[in-house]
Structure 1
Amino acid sequence: MIDQVTGAGTVQLKALLELEARFQPKLCGLRVMECAQDNGLRMTVKLRDFQVRDLLSLTQFFGFGSETFSLAVNLLDRFLAVMKVQPKHLACVGLCCFYIAVKTSEDQKSVPLASDLIRISQNRFTVHDMMRMEKIILEKLHWKVKAPTALHFLRFFHSRIQEQLHTESRWILNLERLEAQLKACHCSFTFTKVKPSLLALALLSLEMEDQHECEALDDLQESLTVKAGELVCVRELVAKCLAEYASTKCLKPSGQRLRWMISGRTARQLKHSYYKIAHLPTIPEYAC
């Protein structure tokens, strides 16, 4: 169903919205994580955010698409919201969610071996451990993998708005920059409780706040039955998140520690660009 939603139209949007609620992390589980004490025994918000940044590092390292990262985060959050994961098992859970997302979103020829993933990420569990955890994750999520993520909505909304903008104004909404902003939001637990459609709309609304009002944006807000106050609130959260991400105090994903733990076979398969990952991935300012 999700793979078929590529055009602009009421039918496609309705299909995405109907699926959205089924693939949201359970709020009760997220609240438990939010209230957990940082004592090394319980899963916490801080640990979750660290794990997501590691997933972004892996995504950049292998050159995988935004779809892979967004889906991996969705799988991770949904699993953490239904299972009491011990911190010592988090790395295995995170890597399995990433592996499932890679096999779902990427070309089969690009899927790395599980052993190489473990080696590159410098984890100590075995392939057998990873396969067992992958089965547990899929069972707990009822084998529902292809989720409508905020990225699906962002691309869909972007396409709708671009159709109504004048040619000279289309540069304002650069999709690469918007996707980079979304990745920054994924690294913050704050947005696990925000509907993907609302997060995507808030990103677009924030990006266009200094521009003339766009009728398409108003139409989308009406289609989502989003109240103005609710959109303003999420926009403020997005603005705060992006400001923190841009600051030097923010711990950003890094591929540095991933570079050297690679087998000869894997090294021969990797492109040269994989060895030139920026230490601090930034959000593009603009694009011509």
Structure 2
Amino acid sequence: MYLVVDFVPVAHSKCVCAHQMIDTVPGPEASAFAVQLKALLDQEVRYQPKLTGLRLIESANDNGLRMTVKLREIEVKDLLSLTRFFGFSAETFSLTVNLLDRFLAVMKIQPKHLSCVGLCCFYIAVKSLEEARNVPLANDLIRISQNRFTVSDMIRMEKIILEKLYWKLKGPTALHFLRLFYAFVTERVSDRSQALNLDRLEAQLKACHCCFAFSKVKPSLLALALLALEIQEQAEDRQPLIDAVQDIQLRLSVKDGDLVCVRELVVKCLSEYSTAKCSRQNSQRLRWIISGRTARQLKHSYYKIAHLPTIPEAAS
């Protein structure tokens, strides 16, 4: 059942991660690829946004009263800028998007509340994954992102998000699968100079996160499509890598048609991303407003902000 989110008074609460949450499985040194993959796949479906809720967003009219695809995409791009501003990890951004999509898929929210929902999802991800000393104050987040709500509003909204997601936060994202698949195929490359560029792949994934269409795609399939496309376009000696991708595809039980379909979506997304229309500054770009105290605490590099990250060229 879908509900309308409103700011209702609740007791003061603080985000505390559930002990049962699983971020990822042990590293390659502890488990074989098959074991790691099975552990991620066993959790994947439980952390996916509900398709029925996503379809409601797709069908919504842009009348200012309901959540729309456009509003969601603008919010995610702003959250990516905020992630880069603080120098937070790709894991933090991927988790932020997962939390946001899952929440929007089970709750009908008014557009005026989206910025609070998005910032709360970001804050939950930051507190879950970043070092405690790097976690900013909620008041600084509000000031930097130039929002009008209060810390109390964030506290109430954070509690709603945690309850509606049943405190199931750190599930597998496309980034987990992408890194696992990358490690698997890289082992097939004898000449390390021909290895794929992981930074480039992660930048492409961030661009895909900003596109609503991929909210409906399984993280494992999105990661496989990104990898397959990169091998086709960038790798010189492709056959060992193609064999590795086919091996992964077989393990995932992914049909050829499904993989081709998602690859085409990725191509379209990256093509649109690279156009001047997508890269130029626009009215949705965040205007960073910070206090002198906050400015002194931030690294100099944080001020070099781009709305979306540049996708690195292929490794030479």
| TM-score normalised by L of structure 2 | 0.87
Within the candidate set 137, 162, 169, 2:161 is matched to 137
Distance 1:118 1:252 in 2: 25
Distance 2:206 2:276 in 1: 17
1:111-122 → structure 2 map (5 Å cutoff)? 111-122=135-146
Deviation (angstroms), 1:258: 3.8
Q: Cα–Cα, structure 1 residues 248 and 61, in superposed 2: closer, same or farther, change >3 Å?
A: same
Within the candidate set 203, 221, 226, 2:254 is matched to 226
Amino acid at match of 1:106: E
Deviation (angstroms), 1:4: 3.2
1:136-285 → structure 2 map (5 Å cutoff)? 136-171=160-195, 173-210=196-233, 211=235, 212-213=238-239, 214=241, 215-250=243-278, 257-259=286-288, 261-278=289-306, 281-285=309-313
Q: Which moved more, 1:176-185 or 1:249-258?
A: 249-258
Distance 2:100 2:146 in 1: 19
Alpha-carbon RMSD across the aligned residues, in angstroms, is 1.7
Amino acid at match of 2:27: T
Distance 2:113 2:45 in 1: 28
Distance 2:281 2:223 in 1: 22
Within the candidate set 86, 90, 100, 1:62 is matched to 86
Q: Secondary structure of 1:122's partner?
A: coil
The question of whether the paired residues in 1 share the 8 Å contact of 2:81 and 2:307 is answered with: no
Q: Secondary structure of 2:265's partner?
A: helix
Residue-by-residue CA offset, 1:167-210 (whole Å, 9 max, x unaligned): 24543x10000000000000000100000000000000000114
Unaligned 5+ runs, structure 2: 1-21
The question of whether the paired residues in 2 share the 8 Å contact of 1:79 and 1:137 is answered with: yes
Deviation (angstroms), 1:287: 3.6
Distance 1:251 1:88 in 2: 26
Distance 1:83 1:124 in 2: 22
Distance 2:309 2:205 in 1: 13
1:93-132 → structure 2 map (5 Å cutoff)? 93-132=117-156
Q: Cα–Cα, structure 1 residues 252 and 152, in superposed 2: closer, same or farther, change >3 Å?
A: farther
The question of whether the paired residues in 1 share the 8 Å contact of 2:60 and 2:68 is answered with: yes
Deviation (angstroms), 1:250: 1.5
Distance 2:285 2:167 in 1: 34
Partner of 2:8: none
After TM superposition, the runs of 4+ consecutive aligned structure 1 residues lying more than 6 A away are: 252-256
Q: Secondary structure of 2:114's partner?
A: helix
Q: Cα–Cα, structure 1 residues 276 and 61, in superposed 2: closer, same or farther, change >3 Å?
A: same
Amino acid at match of 1:180: A
Partner of 1:3: 24
Distance 1:19 1:252 in 2: 38
Residue-by-residue CA offset, 1:73-110 (whole Å, 9 max, x unaligned): 00000000000010000000000000000001111110
Distance 1:168 1:29 in 2: 44
Q: Cα–Cα, structure 1 residues 277 and 138, in superposed 2: closer, same or farther, change >3 Å?
A: same
Partner of 2:16: none
Deviation (angstroms), 1:279: 5.2
Deviation (angstroms), 1:217: 1.0
More helix by share: 1
Distance 1:232 1:126 in 2: 46
Amino acid at match of 1:28: T
Q: Cα–Cα, structure 1 residues 95 and 280, in superposed 2: closer, same or farther, change >3 Å?
A: closer
Unaligned 5+ runs, structure 1: none
Between Structure 1 and Structure 2, how many residues are aligned?
A: 286
Distance 1:234 1:208 in 2: 15
Distance 1:179 1:250 in 2: 18
Q: Secondary structure of 1:67's partner?
A: helix
